[in-house]
């Protein structure tokens, strides 16, 4: 199954989404279509983690919020991804974080839809990385605005005609869905989102917001209540030691694979980056299967070593 691209979308656009394409069957992905035509199954966001709250008695489900210059993303993580949930809970807010995740929707009644994110990867980053994400997301948002603008000028929006103008296949599909389901789209709203986001990059916005003493104490209390007891830690020690060798070997293999894929990207990338298909084909000749390549690319992205300047193209940082 084709790996879904992680879109860069501001919270202001993502939270305006009210249209979902539901996949049929277990293997068919679902998508949220934003008003600007981003057809999103996976999403990549960077912002300020403002809070993490346990919302179940056992602490198996947490809700977090990540703020960008345009709004707030809501994150839900549970027992089905315990490592991610634990990692998210350990981060002390406020902090700059990057998250790659799957879209989630909640429809309490017909005509009302709320969107959130189920994280697949989470990591702390610095202000510079956050600023790069804002700039790239501004560029991506501008491309979508231009695509919708061109489609609105057509007598009937057409994927084929949009493709002729140079827009990606995924975006063309999304724009046609957006115009059919959102009606007349107020592009000025999203132009303003770009302007506000660029203003945010001006000097003086690089520091984290302060949280009150009460908020910090509440978070520390929640973390303490979910910490493992010393006795339980001792019981797990022998199990952990028995797996150390295997984990070390897996880590060494993973590092070698990442180096191979990274070197191939460096070799293939020109001024505009390396096409995804070319990377996969070159890696295949090195004995790497498609799934391994895709997992490795995701890992390299999460580490900030590579990024997607445009859909389907990879560049080193």
What CATH number did the domain enclosing 283 receive? 1.10.10.10
Residues 176 and 235: their CA atoms lie apart, in Å, by: 57
Q: CA-CA distance, 221 to 263, in Å (whole number)? A: 45
Neighbours of 56 (CB within 10 A): 11
- Please check whether residue 33 is in contact with residue 20, taking contact to mean a CB–CB distance below 8 angstroms: yes
Residue pointed to by tokens 């999403």: 43
Whether 112 is covered by a domain: the verdict is yes
In this structure, the dihedral spanned by the alpha carbons of residues 75, 77, 81 and 82, taken in order and rounded to 10 degrees, is 130
* Position 237 in a domain: no
Task: Assess whether 99 and 145 both reside in one domain.
Answer: yes
Average pLDDT (296-302) is 75
Give the pLDDT confidence of 133-151 residue by residue, as tens digits. Answer: 999 999 999 999 999 999 9
Q: Which residues contact 175 (CB under 8 A, 6 or more apart)?
A: 36, 37, 144, 147, 148, 151, 157, 162, 167
Q: Of 20-24, 81-85, 313-317, which one has max mean pLDDT? A: 81-85
Provide the pLDDT confidence category of residue 75 given band limits of 50, 70 and 90: very high
CB 265 within 8 A of CB 296: no
Give me the pLDDT at residue 184, please.
Answer: 87
Residue 235 in this model has a pLDDT that exceeds 60: no
- Do 29 and 174 belong to one domain? yes
Q: For 158-207, what is each residue's pLDDT tens digit?
A: 899 999 999 999 999 999 999 999 988 999 999 999 999 998 887 665 55
- Return the pLDDT at 303: 62
**Count of the separate structural domains present in the chain:** 2
CA distances from 111 to 13, 36, 79, 106 (A): 18, 19, 30, 11
CATH code, 25: 2.40.50.140
In a domain, 45, yes or no: yes
State what percent of residues in the chain have pLDDT above 90.
Answer: 48
Rounded distance, CA 165 to CA 78, Å?
A: 43
- One domain for residues 72 and 147: yes
How confident is the model at residue 66, as a pLDDT? Answer: 96
Instruction: Kindly report the pTM of this predicted structure.
Output: 0.65
Examine the domain organization and report whether 269 and 215 are in the same domain.
Answer: no
Q: Is the peptide bond before 94 cis (omega within 30 degrees of 0)?
A: yes
More confident residue, 304 or 199: 199
Out of 225, 253, 283, pick the residue that ends a domain. 225
- The residue range of the domain holding 297 is 242-316
Q: Does residue 162 sit in the same domain as residue 33?
A: yes
Structure tokens belonging to residue 283: 């890696």
Considering the domain architecture, whether residues 26 and 109 belong to the same structural domain is answered as: yes
Q: Tell me, yes or no, whether 208 and 260 share the same domain.
A: no
Is there a single domain that holds both residue 179 and residue 248? no
- Rounded distance, CA 40 to CA 8, Å? 9
């Amino acid at each position: 199954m084709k790996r879904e691209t992680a879109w860069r979308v501001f919270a202001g656009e993502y939270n305006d989404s009210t249209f979902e394409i539901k996949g049929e069957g277990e293997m068919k992905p679902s998508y949220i279509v934003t008003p600007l035509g981003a057809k999103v199954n996976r999403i990549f966001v960077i912002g300020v983690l403002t809070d993490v709250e346990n919302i179940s008695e056992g602490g198996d489900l947490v809700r977090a919020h990540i703020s960008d210059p345009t709004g707030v993303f809501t994150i839900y993580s549970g027992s089905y991804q315990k490592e991610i949930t634990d990692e998210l809970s350990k981060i002390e807010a406020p902090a700059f974080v990057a998250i790659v995740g799957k879209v989630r929707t909640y429809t309490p009644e017909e005509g009302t839809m709320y969107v959130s994110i189920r994280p697949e990867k989470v990591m702390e980053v610095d202000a510079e990385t956050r600023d790069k994400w804002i700039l790239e997301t501004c560029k991506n948002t501008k491309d979508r605005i231009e695509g919708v603008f061109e489609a609105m000028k057509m007598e009937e929006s057409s994927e084929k005609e949009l493709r002729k103008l140079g827009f990606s296949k995924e975006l063309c599909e999304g724009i046609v869905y957006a115009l059919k389901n959102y009606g007349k789209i107020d592009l000025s709203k999203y132009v303003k989102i770009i302007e506000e986001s660029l203003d945010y990059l001006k000097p003086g916005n690089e520091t984290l917001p302060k949280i009150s003493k009460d908020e910090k104490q509440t978070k520390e209390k929640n973390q303490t209540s979910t910490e493992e007891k010393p006795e339980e830690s001792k019981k797990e020690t022998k199990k952990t030691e028995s797996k150390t060798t295997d984990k070390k070997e897996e880590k060494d293999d993973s590092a070698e694979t990442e180096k191979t894929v990274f070197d191939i990207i460096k070799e293939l990338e020109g001024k505009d980056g390396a096409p995804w298909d070319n990377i996969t084909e070159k890696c295949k000749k090195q004995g790497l299967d498609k799934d391994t390549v895709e997992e490795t690319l995701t890992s390299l992205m999460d580490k900030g070593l590579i990024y997607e300047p445009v859909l389907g193209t990879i560049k080193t940082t």
